[in-house]
A and B are shown apart, each in its own frame.
Chain A
Amino acid sequence: MPNFTDRSASPGAARPLAAVWFAHMVFLAAPWAVHAQLPTAPVEGLRDASPRVHAITGARIVTAPGAAIERGTVVLRDGLIAAVGPEADVNVPADARVWPAEGKTIYAGLVEPLAEVHLPAALKAPATATPGEGGRGGRGGRGAAPTTPTETIAPAAAARSWNARVTPERDVAKVLVADDRGATALRELGFASAVVTPGRGIFRGESALVSLSGRAPNATLVRARVAQHVAFEVGGFRDGGYPGSLMGCIALIRQTMLDAQWLRAALDAHGKNPAIERPEENASLHALFDYVTAAKPVVMDAADELDLLRAQKIAGEFKLKLVLRGRGTEYRMAAALAAKKTPVIVPLNFPAVPEVETPEKAADVSLATLQHWELAPANAGRLAAKGVAVAFTTAGLRTPDSQFWPAVRLAIKRGLAPEAALAAVTTAPAQMLGVADLVGTLAPGRLGHLIVATGDLFAADSTAEITDVWVDGIHFETEAAQKVDARGTWTVAWRGATAPDELRIESRPGGGPTGPTAPATGGRPRARLGGKDLTLAQSRNQLTLLAPADVFQGADAKGTVRLAGTVTGGMIEGTGLLPDGTAFRWSAERTAAAEKPAAPAPREEKFLATTDAWPAGAYGRKGIPAQPGWVLVKNATIWTSGPAGRIAGGDLLVHAGRIERIGKNLAAPAGAVVIDATGRHLTAGLIDCHSHTAISRGVNEGTSAVSVEVRVGDVLDATDVGIYRQLGGGLTVANLLHGSANPMGGQNQVIKLRWGAPPEELKFAGAKPGVKFALGENVKRSNFTPPAGTPVRYPQTRMGVEQIMADTFAQARDYERAGREFKDGRAPLPPRRNLRLEAALEILKGERVVHIHSYRQDEVLMFIRLAQREKLTVATFQHILEGYKVADEMAKLGAGGSAFSDWWAYKYEVADAIPHGGAMMRAAGVVVSYNSDNNELARRLNTEAAKAVKYGGVPEDEALKFVTLNPAKQLRIDDRVGSLEPGKDADFVIWSGSPLSTYTRAEQTWIDGRRYFSLEDDAALRAAATTEREALAQKALAERMRTLAGGGPATGARRGGDAPAAAEPPAVLRLLEAIEARHAREHQSIYHDGADALNCTTHALQ
């Protein structure tokens, strides 16, 4: 018996006691009398009344991961397991059919947690739904590719959610279709049951457990409403529906959960007092009751490692019983998964070997891609090692029949314990999805699901195959069981022909694809007769051999001799035809087994990819930089942006991340890191008051005029290389804003550029919450022509913009009153929480400040008056290129101006933009900042500030404040950052010269007293990335050479390699493609190349 105490960290660990118990006890089900069920469907012809009692004897039985009976018996009765135990302890029932299985190994039938078997086509996931990662041109990774919502395919209920993608009431059990083929395909791999999962929508619906007998759903449906399935799916252009962005999707999930909680409470209140108004009927929300109470699991689909964190956060907010569906990069977040004990379903579709054989191709392969190629097979092992429960799914495999087992074994080879691998296909999925009482282990009362294999299936080098699968006590023989191995040396007896008597059938060396994703069956065999090559084809036990006539009839003979043979054990019986049509017979006896090709020496699995750095790929960091106790920067020209002004030859002393002192000739405390900054300039870290860097999958929720419930903070992309590049330009803080596609956009997020930290740790704690509003051309959608059929959205004029804002605030006030009335006992039904109106209310109360995209003076004045009426706190007018025309009114309101320094002429409403605007607003008493709204410009805000000197004559130190103290004031973080003053955060930049000079570059950028960027560190990171990249490329090359030389499938032509040549698409289609390409850009998946996403100056598409 294995020692289970060692295995406490493995996923099987939840069951060590049970496993011991399984192994030592004999299980017997209650011996009640049973009759076959009389099916509701009438049987045409004679019924099948074969006895349904079976005993499989003599096999090694693995009852659960880590629990084996060396020689045991399993008894199946009426579709269930009746008994399992050691041979000596289990009596074979008298009425049982006996299946001797000496030398075989029996496991529980495998459990597929995410199947599409028996699912109507309309509910299957679209073919391209699997997201990819960046790499060159990789922002097309279509993680958020628009899909058709399920509701438009077929509504599931009448009284249901307003949103087409919210279909939690869709009960897969009610729509199962016959699918013998799908069931057979899974069964061939060893699966006996599957959880059928709807593949479309955000709330996709409830899954069902089915048996894989391939029979009608009446017989195969085991349990309905197993789990709710949720994915971060967004709408596309063509359906134009909310949500159009990831942040909108998360907001919708949150609101739907709240609505379900509310409906439960409201029904409860109504039940107690039926005299009050009834709450609305809503089947979608009803369907969620079991999930908001954590009675059943919610499976959330994570397109990348950041989605994992998002799902955990949502699950935490609503106390859901969370199961994650990963996409293969979960190892990068193993610690977070372990910390919250989140079980995860992982795919086995490991990436193909990157094509690095030419420099040109290699340039398209990023380091992150190379790393993931190497590490993907280690995903499950690394998660399991951290104690994360892991289940495998076949979902995502293009050819499961050839990929599944090799992938499982590769995972084992790359570090997954064999018992954990067994658990990943049996007990883990069963437990995650709450069906462990039915499937996953061999015990009395469980479904009669088991597999019989020729040996240990779960070993890295296993060649064992499954010969039998039992589903609901029904026996199925697999294709593998029918396979005949004809290899060996045969002695032939010819009758009616003459030829050499030695026939050799052997594996063709190097005859097939190799490598991790190649089938384990090896190369195709070849045949030689008397030393001459024959053409060989084999189908099951039928051999077809074609021989040159000279083998039979001497050197001069022409033509081909045809041979056919049937292999039975060690014998072949066959017939033949000579070229002239003369028939003959032959037989053969195997006299020697095939020489086994020498097993390749087991290779030490040495990983070359960095795994302790994040984000993956170049410039990843091993944790955030260290924070020295004391840092002393000596002898710099210090632009304090504070009351001390500019200090020549100044010193800056930092203690534990805060500024301790600024002065001259400061003494270095013991152990201080001392930086000689002679000749250098020192400023506060730069602050960008308008950025869209580090936002995942959409900066606009433009599908609705009002979307203040969406939160940029939900979708931070800490892998965006823009963060690192902007550190290289001295930027330390950015205000990440929703786009400008709608009048009342979304909630912003102020971050510090803590490259290497996970998303939540980027957030600037204590920054004043804010929201993005927008005016003018973008919100009235005047700068693009939407595709035909797109609904016209209100507003279409500046007139309507004012009205939609005022109307929303009026709604928010009514909402507040309704809440008060319920509290005071004046309203019987609890009010429904509405996150959109709550956010509007926060704005009205001044708890959330407004950043408003605005250009023309008329709209600016309109909003000033609105803000005065509604008593809004306006933090900034953004862009505000005509702010100079109404700067006095802005100053009276106390609003800041966060502007482009000198942009103009990109659209009509900026025709009057002038570069003197910043200086003019400042002169009128407005706090002015210059921002970027652009990933490139964000790298050089220091020289943008110099434009305030040029245009309007702002003094140099005041101009620098446009990118330091002033944006800090606008963001209400000036108590912490924006200037170099004692007590403030040690966010600072060391420059090679004056920060206002174009000739200057940032040499070091510090945040919280930690050095996040320096020229030296950058050089080291570049060198490390190059070294790692080349090492991985060499490893990949070794695999690629085998693929290329072996004539195996070219991994590059993975799909559609034979697609017809693309004709030039018609103009209309080209336009649509351009729009969609743009959409895809905005919805870029993580690990992209860092190109600018849509910003507010380009015309928002939605």
Chain B
Amino acid sequence: MLAARASDSIPAVRPGKPLLLRGATVHTVSGADLPATDVLLRDGKIAALGQKLAAPKDAQVVDVTGRHVYPGLISACTGMGLTEISSVSGSVDLAETGTLNPNARAQPALNPDSDHIPVSRANGILTALSVPVSTGLIAGTSTLIRMDGWTWEDLTLRAAVALHVYWPAMAVNRDPNAARPVAEQERTIAENIKRLREAFASARAYLKAKEGAGKPVELDSRWEAMIPVLRGERPVFVHADEQKQIEAAVAWARAEKLKITLVGGTEAWKSADLLKANDIAVIVSPVLTLPLRREDPYDASYANPGKLFAAGVRFCIANDGGSPMADRNLPYQAGKAAAYGLPPAEALKAITLYPAQLLGAGAELGSIEVGKRATLIVTDGDPLEIPTRVEQAYIDGARIDLSSRHTRLYEKYQKKYEQLKK
């Protein structure tokens, strides 16, 4: 019922004519901040960038003097479109049943009428990676979306970004009174990892049979869906938080000769050297989380991105996946990382350029550069600071509606108190 209930926001019409944003401080992210600079948007792209640009004849000019232009923020791990209200199972399509779902695709399950879309983009989230979740091992493929559109096809920027593997839990309770004996716990862990290895081995065998047999093989949807991964055309995103999981995942990726990116990475700072040596990037998801161990520094999670940066590990910052209820707070994850050691300019990159690069869209998104998609926001200040307001937002050059269920309810009930005053 709820999933099917549409948000009241109307998708934007792509403008037929150019649009000139005049006079803002442009935070290119990829380069220097440009004071009093104009940005020309044409055909959905950033067409020009410079001071006192001449407005094309047919251009609409928007004066944004004193304002700030930033690239749209990218939420690199979210259930956007896949879940509406966490406790209402009818509105939740995050995790398919079973442990091996490489063929599950986020894309056709995306609800373009989710209220989370307008609520999140109101704070500058203009691009998101919708990620399936797993209670087992392989969840399926994620989809990169633009946060505006009538259908899931409208939303789609990249139909299949990565195959998502959820690394098995590896914590062992060594308390002599633990419910399960240590040996049994260790056996379960080993079995789960073996299941994962087996899945990849089966998929390879399937591919080999398909390529080499010279006759048709019966379709196995699961292994078929893994072929792009085996051919190196699609990365594997491995969700792992504990140091043990991370190190096991790295060893696995080396053995399987797979390109992986870590998602989660709460304890990635403990393995920064290993990640650097293997050139494995981390989608830190999230920063605002508790340390996993009693003895860890109280600020371990806050300091995590700063430590990865210092070690030269590629990274970006994301929310924690699942419900997008807090997606609008993505910039504050980055701000917190900056308070605990990450240089502020890196914090901004961590939610713009870096996720664009890690999600394979670095040429199109994540910075204000000529030729890139005109997906950007206009603010009255630093978006990593909470009181800052996002005043305008453009997706592929089209100005989008920043109202949402929340602003409409706000307006509605202000009316109540106005009536009471009368």
A908 to B89, CA, bound (A): 10
Q: Is there an interface contact between A1053 and B182, defined as CB atoms closer than 8 Å? A: yes
Q: Is there an interface contact between B184 and A1056, defined as CB atoms closer than 8 Å? A: yes
* B86: Cβ under 8 A from any A Cβ: yes
Query: With a CB–CB cut-off of 8 A, which chain A residues contact B293?
Result: 136, 363, 366, 1089
* Nearest neighbor of B83 in chain A, beta-carbon distance: A905
Out of A365, A920, A1001, name the residue touching B339 (CB < 8 Å): A1001
A947 to B244, CA, bound (A): 37
Least Cβ distance of B382 to chain A in Å?
9
Show 23 A/B contacts (Cβ-Cβ < 8 Å), sorted by A. A128-B177, A132-B176, A138-B178, A140-B178, A145-B179, A363-B243, A367-B295, A721-B294, A885-B413, A887-B417, A888-B417, A888-B420, A906-B85, A908-B87, A923-B417, A946-B386, A950-B389, A998-B385, A998-B386, A1062-B184, A1089-B291, A1089-B292, A1090-B294
Query: With a CB–CB cut-off of 8 A, which chain A residues contact B414?
Result: 920
Q: Is there an interface contact between B87 and A906, defined as CB atoms closer than 8 Å? A: yes
Q: Which of A870-890 contact B (CB under 8 A)?
A: 884-885, 887-888
0/1 per residue, A126-138, Cβ < 8 Å to B? 0010111111111
* Nearest neighbor of B84 in chain A, beta-carbon distance: A905
Q: Is there an interface contact between B339 and A1061, defined as CB atoms closer than 8 Å? A: no
* B88: Cβ under 8 A from any A Cβ: yes
0/1 per residue, A1049-1074, Cβ < 8 Å to B? 00011111101011000000000000
Least Cβ distance of B417 to chain A in Å?
6
Q: Is there an interface contact between B295 and A1000, defined as CB atoms closer than 8 Å? A: no
* Nearest neighbor of B242 in chain A, beta-carbon distance: A363
* B58: Cβ under 8 A from any A Cβ: no
Query: With a CB–CB cut-off of 8 A, which chain B residues contact A368?
Result: 294
Of B147-155, B222-230, B325-333, B367-375, the one contacting chain A is: B325-333
Query: With a CB–CB cut-off of 8 A, which chain B residues contact A521?
Result: none
0/1 per residue, A990-1030, Cβ < 8 Å to B? 00100011111100000000000000001000100100010
- Residue with the highest number of chain A CB atoms closer than 10 Å, among B171, B175, B293, B325: B175
Query: With a CB–CB cut-off of 8 A, which chain B residues contact A130?
Result: 177
A618 to B2, CA, bound (A): 47
Q: Is there an interface contact between B88 and A920, defined as CB atoms closer than 8 Å? A: no
Out of A777, A783, A949, A1055, name the residue touching B181 (CB < 8 Å): A1055
* Nearest neighbor of A905 in chain B, beta-carbon distance: B325
Q: Is there an interface contact between B384 and A912, defined as CB atoms closer than 8 Å? A: no
- Residue with the highest number of chain B CB atoms closer than 10 Å, among A128, A363, A721: A363
Q: Which residues of A contact B (CB under 8 A)?
A: 128, 130-138, 140-142, 145, 351-352, 354-355, 360-361, 363-369, 617-619, 721, 724-725, 728, 777, 783, 884-885, 887-888, 902-908, 911-912, 914-916, 920, 923-924, 935-937, 939-940, 943, 946-947, 949-950, 952, 956, 992, 996-1001, 1018, 1022, 1025, 1029, 1052-1057, 1059, 1061-1062, 1080, 1087-1092, 1099
Q: Which of B283-326 contact A (CB under 8 A)?
A: 288-295, 297-299, 323-326
Least Cβ distance of A268 to chain B in Å?
46
Known: A136-B293, A354-B174. A1059 touches B184 (CB 8 A): yes
Excluding A135-B175, A141-B175, A618-B294, 12 further A-B contacts by CB distance (< 8 Å) are A135-B173, A137-B175, A361-B174, A363-B244, A363-B293, A364-B171, A902-B329, A903-B326, A997-B335, A998-B335, A1001-B340, A1087-B294
* B21: Cβ under 8 A from any A Cβ: no
Q: Is there an interface contact between B290 and A1090, defined as CB atoms closer than 8 Å? A: yes
Q: Is there an interface contact between A355 and B298, defined as CB atoms closer than 8 Å? A: no
Q: Is there an interface contact between B294 and A617, defined as CB atoms closer than 8 Å? A: yes
Least Cβ distance of B182 to chain A in Å?
5
* Nearest neighbor of A946 in chain B, beta-carbon distance: B386
* Nearest neighbor of A1099 in chain B, beta-carbon distance: B87
Q: Is there an interface contact between B179 and A949, defined as CB atoms closer than 8 Å? A: no
Known: A140-B178, A366-B293. A998 touches B173 (CB 8 A): no
A996 to B332, CA, bound (A): 11
* B239: Cβ under 8 A from any A Cβ: no
* Nearest neighbor of A994 in chain B, beta-carbon distance: B385
* B14: Cβ under 8 A from any A Cβ: no
Known: A351-B176, A911-B2, A1089-B293. A905 touches B244 (CB 8 A): no
Query: With a CB–CB cut-off of 8 A, which chain B residues contact A783?
Result: 87
Out of B176, B299, B339, name the residue touching A998 (CB < 8 Å): B339
- Residue with the highest number of chain B CB atoms closer than 10 Å, among A140, A724, A1099: A140
A1056 to B178, CA, bound (A): 11
Known: A128-B179, A138-B175, A884-B413. A907 touches B386 (CB 8 A): no
Query: With a CB–CB cut-off of 8 A, which chain B residues contact A947?
Result: 386
Q: Is there an interface contact between B172 and A999, defined as CB atoms closer than 8 Å? A: no
Query: With a CB–CB cut-off of 8 A, which chain A residues contact B387?
Result: 946, 949-950, 956, 996
Query: With a CB–CB cut-off of 8 A, which chain A residues contact B297?
Result: 1018, 1022
Query: With a CB–CB cut-off of 8 A, which chain B residues contact A1001?
Result: 299, 339-340
Q: Is there an interface contact between B295 and A618, defined as CB atoms closer than 8 Å? A: yes
* B116: Cβ under 8 A from any A Cβ: yes
A904 to B404, CA, bound (A): 13
* B395: Cβ under 8 A from any A Cβ: no
Q: Is there an interface contact between B298 and A724, defined as CB atoms closer than 8 Å? A: yes
* B416: Cβ under 8 A from any A Cβ: yes
A998 to B344, CA, bound (A): 11
- Residue with the highest number of chain B CB atoms closer than 10 Å, among A141, A364, A936, A949: A364
A914 to B412, CA, bound (A): 12
* B409: Cβ under 8 A from any A Cβ: yes
Q: Is there an interface contact between B325 and A903, defined as CB atoms closer than 8 Å? A: yes
Q: Which of B13-30 contact A (CB under 8 A)?
A: none
Least Cβ distance of B378 to chain A in Å?
16
Query: With a CB–CB cut-off of 8 A, which chain A residues contact B420?
Result: 888
A137 to B178, CA, bound (A): 9
A1099 to B87, CA, bound (A): 8
